[in-house]
Structure 1
Amino acid sequence: MDSLLAAQNDPTSPLYHHYLTTEEFNAQFAPTQDDWNAVAKYARGQGFKVTEDGKDRTTNHLIVNASGTVEMANKAFGITIQNYNLKGRIVYQPNHDPLVPKSVYSLIKNVTGLNNVGTYHRLDQQHRLRQAHPRQGPISGYTPNDLRAAYDINPLLQAKNNGKGQTIALFEMDGYNQKDIDIYRQHYGLGALKPDEVLVDGATNTAGAGAIEVELDMEVASAIAPGAAQWVYIGPNTVTGVENTYNRIVSDNKAKIVSISWGECELTSTAAQMRDTLNTIFKQGTAQGQMFFAASGDSGAYDCDNTINNPTTVSVDTPASDPNVIGVGGTTLHTGPNGSYGSESAWNGTTGQGGGGFSARFPRPDYQKTLNPPGINPLPLQRFVPDVSANADGNPGYSIYYTSGNTTNPGWTAVGGTSAAAPLWAGIAADIAQMLQAKNPPALSQFNKTLYTLYNQPQSYIPFHDITTGTNGYYPADKGYDLATGLGSPDAWNIARDLQSDPVSNVRTLLTKNTSFEDKSVDWKETSSGGYELVSVNNPHIGLYSAYLCGYINCHDTISQTVQIPRATSQVTLSYWVDIVDPEPTNKFRVLLQTTQGKLIKTVRELQTANGNGWIQYTDDVSDALKPYAGKSIQIVFDASGSSTPQSPFAVNLDDVSLQQVSDTSGNTTQMMKKPSFDQGKTPWQQSSKGGLQLINKNFPRTPDTYSAYMCNYPNCQDSVAQTVTLPATTRNIILSYWVYLGRSNTTGACSNTFRSYVREPGSGGRTIASIQKLCSTDANGWMQYSFNLNSTLMSYAGKPIQFVFETSAQTNGRTNFYVSLDDVLLYVTR
């Protein structure tokens, strides 16, 4: 199943975002009826009463439900169930793990229900506190309008994306009062809701002590996605009840969005139950395109605080810790004028803190491999929690209407907790899913991985509020991902627009070559009335070389480069650094765009010599001027002329010239490089090292404790990594992007140590198709990202295999070794 899940999230796979029906899953992965019958037969033989499979329509044959006495269990599993005192609570559990005979050993992955140490608890906090600046709600909690304004949900609703056509499943361990839901929705103008109710294992919809949790879920989901249908799954609060309720949700497969506001300390669940039972259920849901939002807990970094006699043990909540579940943490939200977003900090109040930390049961999933959260050293290899967050502070809390259970103050109340944040995220997902439902393949499925893609790759709109203040009682919030608030809280409209847009819509590709003149005048054309070479070591901005124009009497120097403008272009910018020396009013420096025949397209900028003031960067938008030249070649010309005296020579230093464009693409864009960050094995990357070295390693990755391609760092080296890709026959746009780090050597020559990227026909001796980039050791400037539009060179190879090669070579000795680290190589292809 793991390979299927990977393929469903791999843009190069034909299974990308193609999810299974329940019937398809059962046919491919579920135990057979014969398997289930064999286990049921064994249970009956031990005296247990077996609930017939299919009674609750869980057709995946995953669970055999059996009931019997303690004596039956002791005999059947070779155990002794005993009572224990746990913080004043009498609990029972077996003296060791259960044993089963060989005849059914291969069929049974886990036996649950033999202890009651761990039970699910609500993750809500009820308060009647009032804020200094009261909200509009009847009890001063956050209203639907407040939440929509703070988390930028209103644009979705205004575009009629209110969750209509989507279904949210609510996992519950108690009943609810429909009249409370009706009053809430009527008060806030949300329309009527007739939820579907699914009762599991004999549970009833009788509002008990936990009814406030159920109604909180239903009302918060209503506030954010009033048009979404709600299916309320109610099961008994037992180990088997929990498993059967989750299993019913995935077997029904009615809802693609699931909200879970109940959980327990991870350490009170056995590893077998979490990995073999619950994880299998969540994997099935993920394979079917379902997403699960689970509250991360209200005990900060100490989720076991209420159940284990050691409050100093850091721990997290299940099921938020499962890698196929989106763990939702807690914040304290401060709103601005008209309820707009103001600021947030990690939730750390007197009644609760946002759950977060690292799992004791699950390894870190691929989508978290590059994270390096603060407050933890050494970095563990386990799954990090939470993934995202939202307001959980009960002051002012969420405004809800509640009269059920054993409440002594029926009516309007304010409630907090991460159990409010989970249905908020589920509601946002429903709104976005409606907006994106026409996109093929759907962009919202496997949403946990999607969220990290939004975080790791540049986006047109900032998807998360990065929370950088506060702690959850142990782990601090900080810039980027942290264990207190995860990736941050949602900007719903930005997330929706990022997912709707093409992934390369904001990637700026470089059109100029040898931008810093470190390969001297290669790719540049020089003309000098004084007969001088213009590229020199006179006064570089960065590196060893720059273009030095004029510097003599009655000078006229130009340096130019011919570039091709891609056909699909929405924006083009020209950027360059200039240092004008000894300015005089009669001297000029001009930046021009010309046709290849020398006809002026535009004078981009004319600098009088009075502008001289050291190195200054200029950036000009030349989109309109170059729009008629899409698909054609043009010239960028830098022209200096002066009549200065010998005592005051006019000169211009020019460096770091880049012409960048943003592609105007529409269609289906996929990232086609496999293992772009070199993690999880070396195939399909091909390595070649003159020194016989293993190039894919952890020597110098862009993100700590991950991999990169680390080349050279030995005398007279020549190393390369390459990957073969077949471009789709219908390719319309090709963008290559990568990060590179140049380890500067002590060379004083021009480009004796180099990094090159190019495309060739497959095979070590394949013909070179196109040169993409050449960098010299003197280009070294830390980790740098480069992106290139390859339409003009590779479009004729659509439907054919080609090989991308990244090569490093050096002529250094053992004391001045040059090295290069390559990471995050992405190939975006639009069809």
Structure 2
Amino acid sequence: MRRRLISSLVAAAVALAGLAAGSAAAQPQPGPGGGGPTSRRVCTDRHTAGKAYCLARVRTDLPARPGLLPGQQPAGLSPRDIQRAYQLPPVGGLGRRIAIVVANDYPEAEADLAVYRNQFHLPPCTTANGCFQKVYSTGVKPGTVDPSWALEAALDMQAVSASCPLCSITLVEAPTAFIVSSLIPAVDVANSLPGVTGVNGSWAIPEQPAEGSLDSHFLPGIVYTFGSGDDGGVPVYPSSSPNVTSVGGTRLNLDSRGRIVSESGWAGSGGGCSLYEPLPAFQQGFSPCATRSTPDVSAVADPDSGLAIYVSTPGNPTIGWQVGGGTSQSAPLVAGMYALAGRPGPNDRPNTYPYAHPRNFHDIVTGCAGAFCAHPGYDLVTGIGTPRGLRGLRR
């Protein structure tokens, strides 16, 4: 069986690598993205064939703070803000484990997570108490420490902590960002981990004709959350797989006291009609597309209303407390919400749940991304909408 798996991965790698350059003209060109001049992309290598890029963004108009004085709060949304925005319980998720798949090594992962959770008075999540694990997908620690991917991993882990404070977290490190030879095998490892109910991937590649050959790696009975992209109205893979939950982005609009007053679609939210994936049955009657459409659901992603995050990996332009964003933020937030909602049925595709319960979502009706605008009902900016409690994320 292992030989067949390796053969299928190699075949898919050849197809994707060969088609990446040849199909470039058929790909929609990235839109202006979101966040404007006040944020930057964390991963800048977006043009290597077959290589995924992370979807994190960070604010550039707010200086990072290496440390905080006693009683001082970092800029950005807190876990309590996320709980209020999406009507989440302050506790729950105990015993649920979310695997976060990233590329390269993040040596400071456990230490940075401890700083974040201590700041917001969340229970410790450590190797010693069994809450935190780090797994190398090949069994060998990746030889590269990439500060961009370390920041991505920090955002993922801390976003899961914000929406599901009692969830356990496993960081699965792949040796490189090449999707077929490294990241997809890391997803396979995540699938096999005891107790895992959800797998998050905050990375993407442009859609390719052979992408459907990878869909079988996303199994029934596990929640897969993938960011819909940050290029404003452009679909990406794996978000476009019919077997995953594609998570788009919104902006939380705050008043002068920092209170949430409304929510709108984010200009950078990826989405649209897939070039290659067929229309799944669960989207019939919702989607305006003849093919798979993204996103399915959304959560806050605009860096201008982003999460407070902490990262200390040397080599980052900014070290310490800063404000994150992108669908790298919304995807792990939704992963935590799914975990709060409960374990999916063993034969279920959890990305179908929101379509069965659309009334349990905030219907986002304002905001545009690329050529698409949010409107009442399902749309190609925010999907079904953003969770209003947990009912929409369970059977």
Which category describes the TM-score, using the shorter chain as reference length? 0.7 to 0.9
Paired residue for 1:446?
Answer: 349
Structure 2 spans left out of the alignment, 5+ residues: 25-46, 63-70, 127-131
Partners of 2:236 and 2:356 in 1: CA distance = 24
Partners of 1:82 and 1:63 in 2: CA distance = 20
Say if 1:119 and 1:491 are closer, same or farther in 2 by CA, change over 3 A. same
Partners of 1:359 and 1:253 in 2: CA distance = 33
Partners of 1:297 and 1:371 in 2: CA distance = 21
Following superposition of structure 1 onto structure 2, how do residues 330-729 of structure 1 map, counting pairs within 5 Å?
330-335=249-254, 341-348=260-267, 353-373=268-288, 380-433=289-342, 442=345, 445-455=348-358, 462-493=359-390, 495=392
Paired residue for 1:148?
Answer: 83
Partners of 1:83 and 1:360 in 2: CA distance = 14
Following superposition of structure 1 onto structure 2, how do residues 67-146 of structure 1 map, counting pairs within 5 Å?
117-129=49-61, 138-146=73-81
Paired residue for 1:320?
Answer: 239
Paired residue for 1:618?
Answer: none
Paired residue for 2:94?
Answer: 164
1:65-89 Cα offsets, whole Å, 9 max, x none, are 999xxxxx9xxx9xxx8998999xx
C-alpha contact 1:184 1:400 (8 A) present in aligned 2: yes
The structure where helix makes up a greater share of residues is 2
Query: RCO greater where, 1 or 2, for CA within 8 Å and sep 6 or more?
Result: 2
Partners of 2:330 and 2:19 in 1: CA distance = 38
Number of residue equivalences: 350
Task: Say whether residues 1:199 and 2:120 are aligned partners.
Answer: no
Query: For 2:248, which of 329, 332, 345 is the aligned residue?
Result: 329
Say if 1:251 and 1:469 are closer, same or farther in 2 by CA, change over 3 A. same
Partners of 1:363 and 1:384 in 2: CA distance = 9
Query: For 2:160, which of 221, 237, 252 is the aligned residue?
Result: 221
Q: TM-score by structure 1 length? A: 0.39
Say if 1:83 and 1:363 are closer, same or farther in 2 by CA, change over 3 A. closer
Paired residue for 2:118?
Answer: 186
1:91-113 Cα offsets, whole Å, 9 max, x none, are xxxxxxxxxxxxxxxxxxxxxxx
Following superposition of structure 1 onto structure 2, how do residues 3-82 of structure 1 map, counting pairs within 5 Å?
32=1, 36=3, 62-64=5-7
Say if 1:495 and 1:207 are closer, same or farther in 2 by CA, change over 3 A. same
Q: TM-score by structure 2 length? A: 0.80
Partners of 1:206 and 1:148 in 2: CA distance = 36
Structure 2 residue matching 1:321: 3-state secondary structure: coil
CA-CA distance at 1:366 after TM superposition: 0.3
CA-CA distance at 1:298 after TM superposition: 0.3
CA-CA distance at 1:418 after TM superposition: 0.4
C-alpha contact 2:74 2:321 (8 A) present in aligned 1: yes
Structure 1 spans left out of the alignment, 5+ residues: 1-31, 37-60, 68-72, 88-114, 131-135, 303-315, 374-379, 456-461, 501-831
Paired residue for 1:237?
Answer: 177
Partners of 2:311 and 2:205 in 1: CA distance = 24
CA-CA distance at 1:472 after TM superposition: 0.5
Partners of 1:83 and 1:325 in 2: CA distance = 22
C-alpha contact 1:126 1:416 (8 A) present in aligned 2: yes
Say if 1:122 and 1:140 are closer, same or farther in 2 by CA, change over 3 A. same
Paired residue for 1:688?
Answer: none
Partners of 1:363 and 1:215 in 2: CA distance = 34
CA-CA distance at 1:253 after TM superposition: 5.5
Partners of 1:328 and 1:183 in 2: CA distance = 27
Say if 1:416 and 1:319 are closer, same or farther in 2 by CA, change over 3 A. same
C-alpha contact 2:114 2:124 (8 A) present in aligned 1: yes
Paired residue for 1:208?
Answer: 146
CA-CA distance at 1:116 after TM superposition: 5.4
CA-CA distance at 1:495 after TM superposition: 3.7
C-alpha contact 1:129 1:395 (8 A) present in aligned 2: no
CA-CA distance at 1:118 after TM superposition: 2.7
Matched AA of 2:290: L
1:501-544 Cα offsets, whole Å, 9 max, x none, are xxxxxxxxxxxxxxxxxxxxxxxxxxxxxxxxxxxxxxxxxxxx
Partners of 2:8 and 2:356 in 1: CA distance = 40
CA-CA distance at 1:492 after TM superposition: 2.0
Matched AA of 1:197: K
CA-CA distance at 1:381 after TM superposition: 1.5
Say if 1:125 and 1:116 are closer, same or farther in 2 by CA, change over 3 A. closer
CA-CA distance at 1:371 after TM superposition: 1.7
Paired residue for 2:104?
Answer: 174
Partners of 1:474 and 1:361 in 2: CA distance = 19
Matched AA of 2:367: G
Paired residue for 1:779?
Answer: none
Say if 1:326 and 1:404 are closer, same or farther in 2 by CA, change over 3 A. same
CA-CA distance at 1:387 after TM superposition: 0.2
CA-CA distance at 1:395 after TM superposition: 0.9
Partners of 1:394 and 1:416 in 2: CA distance = 4
Say if 1:240 and 1:488 are closer, same or farther in 2 by CA, change over 3 A. same
Tell me the percent identity. 31
Say if 1:140 and 1:428 are closer, same or farther in 2 by CA, change over 3 A. same
Query: For 2:212, which of 271, 275, 296 is the aligned residue?
Result: 275
Structure 1 residue matching 2:373: 3-state secondary structure: coil
Task: Give the 4+ runs in structure 1 shifted more than 6 A.
Answer: 81-87
Partners of 1:265 and 1:425 in 2: CA distance = 22
CA-CA distance at 1:208 after TM superposition: 1.7
Say if 1:466 and 1:341 are closer, same or farther in 2 by CA, change over 3 A. farther
Paired residue for 1:641?
Answer: none
1:767-793 Cα offsets, whole Å, 9 max, x none, are xxxxxxxxxxxxxxxxxxxxxxxxxxx
C-alpha contact 2:253 2:305 (8 A) present in aligned 1: no
C-alpha contact 2:136 2:173 (8 A) present in aligned 1: yes
Partners of 1:245 and 1:149 in 2: CA distance = 34
Say if 1:331 and 1:233 are closer, same or farther in 2 by CA, change over 3 A. same
Matched AA of 1:165: G
CA-CA distance at 1:487 after TM superposition: 0.5
Paired residue for 1:294?
Answer: 226
Partners of 1:494 and 1:250 in 2: CA distance = 25
Partners of 1:127 and 1:66 in 2: CA distance = 37
Partners of 1:66 and 1:392 in 2: CA distance = 32
Partners of 2:347 and 2:361 in 1: CA distance = 16
CA-CA distance at 1:386 after TM superposition: 0.3
Say if 1:179 and 1:469 are closer, same or farther in 2 by CA, change over 3 A. same
